Amino acid sequence: MRLEVYGTRHAQALLGSLGRLQRNPLATALTLLVIGLALALPAALGLFITNAQSATGGLGRAVDMSVYLQPGVPLAKAQQLAGAARQRPDVAQVTVIAADQGLAEFRQYSGFGAALDALKSNPLPNVLHVVPRRDATGAADLESLRRYFAAWPEVDVVQLDTEWVLRFNAILAVLRRLVLIAAVLLGAGVLAVVGNTIRLEILNRRAEIEVTKLVGGSNAFVRRPFLYTGLLYGLGGAALAWVILEAAVLVLDQPVATLAQLYGSRYALAGPSGPVLGALFGGGVALGWLGAWISAQRHLRSIEPQ
């Protein structure tokens, strides 16, 4: 019975708030638009990063190292060194590319076959191809691995083949931070918009609030419809942001596919995933509710029946 009364009160407050929003369609639409845009912007940035990451997915993790041994270091020694390197916990894989094998590959792919025949001996050294473990691809990890190989007397040069991958990952990290900043700023914006909208509504309904308090309405009762209004603003704004994101993906889909094709890829743009949508709606609802709550705390207390 008690629970039923509770549910009834909440249902009444929710329906009342819905009805009120519906009676002012223009004002409601404008507020929703502002909230929707504020939510869509950081979500779109996040989506961009996710797509950039998956578009370069294979490459993004292909950090590897070529360790060139001094000319004249025999293959047996190279095998031995490879065995030692495999013991390190930050090394996933070490492949020995023998000088002969390297020359054969070069002959095959370079088209210099005839010219190479003129050489008296194989100018290529034995090479160790090293793939670090996936969790050890940070700049500091790679540097310590490079030093490890460079310290060996048999080693001529250590070449980090994929520095651009590191740069790319660093750019993504910067962008991710930017998304965070945008999300915080625009979230504060949503709070302010909802808070101000609720403040105006509280002032508009001053007489009603006074009478309600006079006949014994508790603060919670008076506050409830405003909290639901804020929550609905957040929900509506999140839904609008979703529509904006999907529309943007739709508009971009064709040109992105064309671009991917030019790179010989079949990559297709991904829309917002389940977790992204969850964050969008969860964040929208939470911000709307919180903005309304802050505003109600500030303004409802001052309204007492005279």
Partner 1 sequence: MILFERVSKRYPNGREALTNVSFRIDSGEMVFLTGRSGAGKSTVLKLVALLERPTRGTVTVNGKSTGTLKARHIPAFRRQIGVVFQDHKLLADRPVFDNVALPLVVAGSPLKEVDKRVRAALDQVGLLGKERMLPAELSVGEQQRVGIARAVVSKPPLIIADEPTGNLDPDLSLEVMRLLRRFSDVGVTVLVATHDQHIVRELAKREIVLASGEIQGEGADALPHVVASK
Least distance from partner 1 to the Cβ atom of residue 31, Å: 21
DSSP, collapsed to helix, strand or coil, labels residue 240 as: helix
Number of residues that bind partner 1 (CB under 8 A): 22
Q: Two tokens at 120? A: 């008296």
Buried b (16+ CB within 10 A) or exposed e, 52-74: eeebbeeebeebbbebbbeeebe
Q: Per-residue x/- mask for partner 1, residues 2 to 41, rule CB under 8 A? A: --xxx-xx--x-----------------------------
| Choice between 54 and 218, CB closer to partner 1 | 218
The nearest distance, CB 276 to partner 1, in angstroms, is 40
Question: What is the smallest separation between the CB atom of 9 and partner 1, expressed in angstroms?
Answer: 6
Per-residue contact track with partner 1, 191 to 220, x per CB under 8 A? ----------------xx-xxxxxxxxxx-
- Closest by alpha carbon to 190, among 63, 39, 58? 39
20 vs 146 by CB, closer to partner 1: 20
Rounded to a whole number of angstroms, the minimum distance from the CB of residue 215 to partner 1 is: 4
Burial 199-233 (b: 16+ CB within 10 A, else e): bebbeebeeebeebbeeebeeeebbbbbbbbbbbb
Alpha-carbon span 63 to 85, nearest angstrom? 17
Cβ atoms 85, 91 nearer than 8 A: yes
Nearest approach in angstroms of CB 5 to partner 1 is 4
Angle (nearest 5°) at CA 261 between 255 and 266: 100
Residue number with CB closer to partner 1 (3 or 151) = 3
Nearer to partner 1, 215 or 262 (CB): 215
Strands laid side by side in the 65-69 sheet: 91-97, 127-132, 65-69, 155-160
Closer CB to partner 1, residue 9 or residue 298?
A: 9
262 binds partner 1 (CB under 8 A): no
Residues making contact with partner 1 (CB under 8 A): 4-6, 8-9, 12, 207-208, 210-219, 221, 304-306
